Amino acid sequence: MGSSGLVDFHCHLDLYPDHAAAVERCERDGVFTLAVTTTPKAWSRNHELAKLTRHVRAALGLHPQLVADRAQEIVLWEELLSHTRYVGEVGLDAGPRFYKSFDKQKEVFNRVLTACAAARNKILTVHSVRAAKVVLDMIEQHMPPPRGRVVLHWFTGTAAEARRAVDLGCYFSINAQMLNNEKHRAVVRGVPLDRLLTETDGPFTQTGGRPSRPSDIPITLDGMADLFGKDRGWIEAAVMSNLKSILSQAE
């Protein structure tokens, strides 16, 4: 099975109509795909499908938007953590729909970071909607770079917050929709190229009127090439190099 050299570091493969087919497509297309989960109860099936592949890995998550109803599942999350290096989707969401659970979210995220830091080899993909400062405060307190690697998924914080995240050792995963927003383009432009990965966040983004797939990553690479004034092949190689760096650092 060949590799395309493409990276989708945040995709909800289990939310496509046919989960197994979505995994098979990633494997066939040779796209390194991190299959994130929204609850720890979903991890086992994701892992079962991913462990048979070369290119797909399953991440153990407890999505902040679900914490209001599922906070108790952090116990199961903690029980499963030793079975994977990959964690996500986790983090905080202070948007209007979810702010009422923000204190509970912080309790859960604190337990996530503390457990990952103790393990020392985890790679996290982190949600930070309207909560970048608090997320970074908690990363600074609980998850210094020697303890693991944090990738900020679809980061929408300020340029100053992005610089702080870089100083804290964080990486960023970028999708095509981010690059269609001038404010977000400006923030991405300020991030060092050696801290960038690509993602789709499929099926929550659209490509050509359908849910985005990992094989759509070249669209994001084209956008990044335009943003940084680089050849697409150069950007693709840089993203793959960054992925290898994260994997080696977390071993």
Whether the pLDDT of residue 138 is over 50: the answer is: yes
Instruction: Give the model confidence (pLDDT) of 14-26 as tens digits.
Output: 999 999 999 999 9
8 A C-beta contact, residue 188 and residue 227: yes
- Supply the pTM of this predicted model: 0.97
**pLDDT tier at 150, thresholds 50, 70, 90:** very high
**pLDDT tier at 2, thresholds 50, 70, 90:** low
Predicted local distance difference test score (pLDDT) of residue 4: 82
Numbered residues of the known binding site for a divalent metal cation:
10, 12, 89, 127, 153, 201
- Among the listed residues 198, 215, 218, 210, the one whose alpha carbon sits nearest the alpha carbon of residue 29: 215
Q: Which helix (H) or strand (E) holds 29?
A: helix 19-29
Counting residues of the chain whose pLDDT is more than 90, the rounded percentage is: 96
Every domain of the chain and the residues it spans = 6-249
Q: Which helix (H) or strand (E) holds 124?
A: strand 122-129
Q: Which CATH superfamily is domain 6-249 in?
A: Metal-dependent hydrolases (3.20.20.140)
Instruction: Give the model confidence (pLDDT) of 46-62 as tens digits.
Output: 999 999 999 999 999 99
Residue 180, judged by CB atoms within 10 A of its CB (0-12, 13-18, 19+), counts as: exposed
* Dist. CA 239–CA 6, nearest whole Å: 8
Numbered residues of the known binding site:
10, 12, 89, 127, 153, 201
Take residue 209 and report the two structure tokens written for it.
């009127």
* Dist. CA 126–CA 10, nearest whole Å: 10
The DSSP symbol for 65 reads G
